[in-house]
């Protein structure tokens, strides 16, 4: 199984190629990652070419195109979904949208030894954050409730004070400080196409890919276009 992945929802831009056996147990991942605000359109296509070249794989050999579908920066989500759709159409392959919040959570699943949940928060501007809670069930991430956008204080109030929690994402860094001792904050971490690919693999194996025409971003905030235009 071969998955080409794209992630441009934040200041970071990345591409990845995951190659696994049909069980998904044996994996090799090729990654390009760069923190480069406002340079995603210049970087993403060369990055995709580089991971394919490094693996010695032709684009036509890829089984699916995965992308970070949001929530996140309006322009970044449009880039990811548009590039994924265009590539998928060019080689007649399906797409796999992956939550940007889940992607960040996936990056810290190996740190769950003494924590019971992961609270992910991305800066949504105007003192608001996109956020969600995840736990690990049967070695896979499970979303608790729904992904949402709210005032940052509501995020903090949603944390269970009686359990250890990992906090990750720039939403925590932008608006929240002096966190309770049960919250373990991981700073300076951005979503990566590596984890987009890892989350996309079980979806591909279970037949949950989509036709290229359905490659759509998820904004959560209904009036995101209007607000983005005023920034």
Please report which helix (H) or strand (E) contains residue 197, including its range: helix 193-205
pTM above 0.75, yes or no: yes
**Tens digit of pLDDT per residue, the chain (231 long)?**
999 999 999 999 999 999 998 766 778 999 999 999 999 999 999 999 999 999 999 999 999 999 999 999 999 999 999 999 999 999 999 999 999 999 999 999 887 766 689 999 999 999 999 999 999 887 789 999 999 999 999 999 999 988 899 999 999 999 998 899 999 999 999 999 999 999 999 999 999 999 999 999 999 986 444 444 433
Largest interatomic CA distance in the chain: 51
Residue range 108-186 in CATH 3.30.420.40: yes
- Tell me how far apart the alpha carbons of residues 50 and 121 are, in angstroms, rounded to a whole number: 30
Domain at 2-100+191-229: CATH architecture: 2-Layer Sandwich (3.30)
Domain ranges in the chain are 2-100+191-229, 108-186
How far, CA to CA in Å, does 191 sit from each of 40, 53, 65, 138, 194?
A: 14, 23, 17, 23, 9
Contact 200, 141 (CB under 8 A): no
Contact 124, 221 (CB under 8 A): yes
Contact 205, 24 (CB under 8 A): yes
- Residue 96: CB atoms within 10 A of its CB come to 27
Strand partners, 149: 130
């Amino acid at each position: 199984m071969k998955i080409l992945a794209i992630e441009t929802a934040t200041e970071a831009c990345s591409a990845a190629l995951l190659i696994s056996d049909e069980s998904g147990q044996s994996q090799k991942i090729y990654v390009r990652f760069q923190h480069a605000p406002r340079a995603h359109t210049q970087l993403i296509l060369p990055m995709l070419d580089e991971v394919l070249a490094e693996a010695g794989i032709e684009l036509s050999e890829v089984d699916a195109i995965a992308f970070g579908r949001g929530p996140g920066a309006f322009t970044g989500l449009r880039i990811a979904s548009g590039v994924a759709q265009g590539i998928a159409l060019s080689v007649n392959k399906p797409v796999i949208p992956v939550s940007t919040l889940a992607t960040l959570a996936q990056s810290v699943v190996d740190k769950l030894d003494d924590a019971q949940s992961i609270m992910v928060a991305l800066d949504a501007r105007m003192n608001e954050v996109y956020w969600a809670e995840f736990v690990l069930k049967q070695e896979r991430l499970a979303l608790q409730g729904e992904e949402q956008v709210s005032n940052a204080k509501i995020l903090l109030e949603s944390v269970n004070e009686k359990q250890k929690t990992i906090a990750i994402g720039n939403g925590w860094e932008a608006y929240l400080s002096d966190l309770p001792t049960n919250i373990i904050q991981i700073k300076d971490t951005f979503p990566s196409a590596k984890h987009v690919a890892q989350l996309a693999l079980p979806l591909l194996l279970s037949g949950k890919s989509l036709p290229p025409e359905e490659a759509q971003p998820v904004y959560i905030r209904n009036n995101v276009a209007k607000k983005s235009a005023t920034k």
